[in-house]
C-alpha cells in the first residue's frame, strides 16, 4: 500500500500553537521532510518526538520531491513541515503536492498557524476578499511591475517581507499605490507582537531600526466603482469604449462627449478619430 503525504502546519512563534493533530501525525509518520532540519529538530525535541529528518528546501525541492515520492510509493508515510507556519505558503510544498497528485498519492493537510491569515484578521481591513502576494521581488523593476498590476485591485492586499527590505518595499508601495491605509503586523504570537496602523507615510516614519518578522496588510484601492470602470474603459480601444456606451443606449453625440471626458481629451479629437476610421 502506498503511503500518505501530510502537510503539517507548525507554529509561527509560540510553540503552544502546535495542534494535537500535528503532534499525533509527526509522531506517527516514517519520515519528516523539513525546510531546515536543525530548526525542526528543536521543535521535535521540545515535544519529545524522535523521527528521521530529510531536508526539503526551495533550492532542492524538485530533486527531493522525486526522492520523497519514491518513498511514498514504497509505502512510507511522510510529513512535510516548513520552518514556520503552513507548508506551501511562501515555503516549499507546492512541488511535492503536484507530483503526489500525478502519482495518485493521498495528500492530507494538517491545519494550523499561517501568518497571513492571522495578520489579516487583526488588521481591521476587509476580510471578505483579499489578495495574497507573498514576497515582492527584490528586483526593482519586477517589484514595480507587480505593484502596477495590483494598483486598481479593490481587495485587501497581503504581503510578506523580510526586515532588511521593509523600508524599500514600503517606499515602492507609496510610490506606486499611493499613501493608502496600511497595517504592519509584527512578530505574531511572539513576545513583541505589535500592530502598527496608519498610512504608508506615517508607518514609514515609525520603522527606523525595526526588527522582527512582518506581514504587510494594505487597504484595497478605494477609488469609486465609477472611477475604476472609467480606468478600465480607458485601457480598451476607442472602438470598445464606444461600444460600451452604445450598449447602454446612449446617443452618438453624448458618447463622444463621454469618451472625451473619460480620457481627458477634447471632444474634437475623439470625433476626428471616428470620422477618419469610418
Ligand atoms: N509558511 C509561512 C506561513 O504560513 O505564514 C510563511 C513563511 S515565509 C518564508 C516567512 C514570512 O512570513 C516572514 O518573512 C514574514 O513576512 C511572515 N511571518 C512568519 N512568521 C511571522 C510572525 N510570527 N509574525 C509576522 N510575520 C510572520
Q: What is the pLDDT of residues 243-271, one digit of tens each?
A: 988 988 899 999 999 999 989 999 999 99
Residues 171 and 237 grouped into a single domain: no
pTM > 0.85? no
DSSP 82-127: -SSB-TTSSSTTHHHHHHHHHTT-EEEEE----HHHHHHHHH-S--
Regarding whether 108 and 22 lie in a shared domain, the answer is yes
Give the tens place of pLDDT for each residue, 160-205.
Answer: 999 999 999 999 999 999 999 999 999 999 999 999 999 999 999 9
User: Within 6 Å (CB) of ligand 1, which residues are found?
Assistant: 12-13, 82, 84-86, 89-91, 114-116, 160-162, 185, 187-190, 213-215
Q: Check whether residue 156 and residue 233 sit in a common domain.
A: no
Provide the domain limits for residue 158: 116-218
- The closest residue, in CA terms, to atom 23 on ligand 1 is 188
What separation in Å is there between the alpha carbon of 29 and the centre of ligand 1? Answer: 25
Report residue 221: phi and psi, to 5°.
-65, 130
Distance CA 27, CA 21 (A): 10
Q: Residue 58 — very low, low, confident or very high, per pLDDT cuts 50/70/90?
A: confident
Cα of 185 to ligand 1 centre, how many Å? 10
CB 128 within 8 A of CB 101: no
**Ligand 1 center from residue 113 Cα (angstroms):** 10
Q: What spacing in Å lies between the alpha carbon of 96 and ligand 1's midpoint?
A: 21
255 and 203 fall within a common domain: no
**Residue 112: closest CA among 26, 214, 35:** 26
C-alpha cell at 247: 450598449
Amino acid at each position: 500500500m502506498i503511503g500518505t503525504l501530510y502537510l503539517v502546519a507548525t507554529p509561527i512563534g509560540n510553540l503552544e500553537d502546535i495542534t494535537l493533530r500535528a503532534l499525533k501525525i509527526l509522531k506517527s509518520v516514517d519520515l519528516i521532510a523539513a525546510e531546515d532540519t536543525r530548526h525542526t529538530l528543536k521543535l521535535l525535541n521540545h515535544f519529545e518526538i524522535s523521527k528521521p529528518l530529510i531536508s526539503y528546501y526551495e533550492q532542492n525541492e524538485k530533486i527531493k520531491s522525486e526522492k520523497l515520492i519514491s518513498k511514498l510509493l514504497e509505502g512510507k508515510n511522510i510529513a512535510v513541515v516548513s520552518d514556520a507556519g503552513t507548508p506551501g505558503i511562501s515555503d516549499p510544498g507546492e512541488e511535492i503536492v503536484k507530483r503526489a497528485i500525478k502519482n495518485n498519492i493521498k495528500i492530507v493537510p494538517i491545519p494550523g498557524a499561517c501568518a497571513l491569515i492571522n495578520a489579516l484578521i487583526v488588521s481591521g481591513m476587509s476580510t471578505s476578499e483579499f489578495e495574497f502576494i507573498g514576497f515582492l521581488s527584490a528586483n526593482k523593476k519586477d517589484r514595480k511591475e507587480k505593484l502596477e498590476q495590483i494598483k486598481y485591485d479593490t481587495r485587501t492586499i497581503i504581503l510578506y517581507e523580510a526586515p532588511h527590505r521593509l523600508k524599500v518595499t514600503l517606499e515602492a508601495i507609496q510610490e506606486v499605490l499611493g499613501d493608502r491605509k496600511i497595517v504592519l503586523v509584527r512578530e505574531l504570537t511572539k513576545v513583541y507582537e505589535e500592530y502598527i496602523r496608519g498610512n504608508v507615510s506615517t508607518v514609514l516614519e515609525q520603522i527606523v531600526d525595526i526588527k522582527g518578522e512582518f506581514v504587510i496588510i494594505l487597504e484595497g484601492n478605494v477609488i469609486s466603482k465609477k472611477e475604476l470602470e472609467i480606468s478600465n474603459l480607458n485601457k480598451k480601444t476607442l472602438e470598445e469604449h464606444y461600444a460600451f456606451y452604445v450598449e447602454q443606449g446612449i446617443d452618438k453625440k453624448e458618447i463622444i462627449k463621454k469618451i472625451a471626458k473619460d480620457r481627458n481629451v477634447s471632444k474634437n479629437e475623439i470625433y476626428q478619430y471616428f470620422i477618419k476610421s469610418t
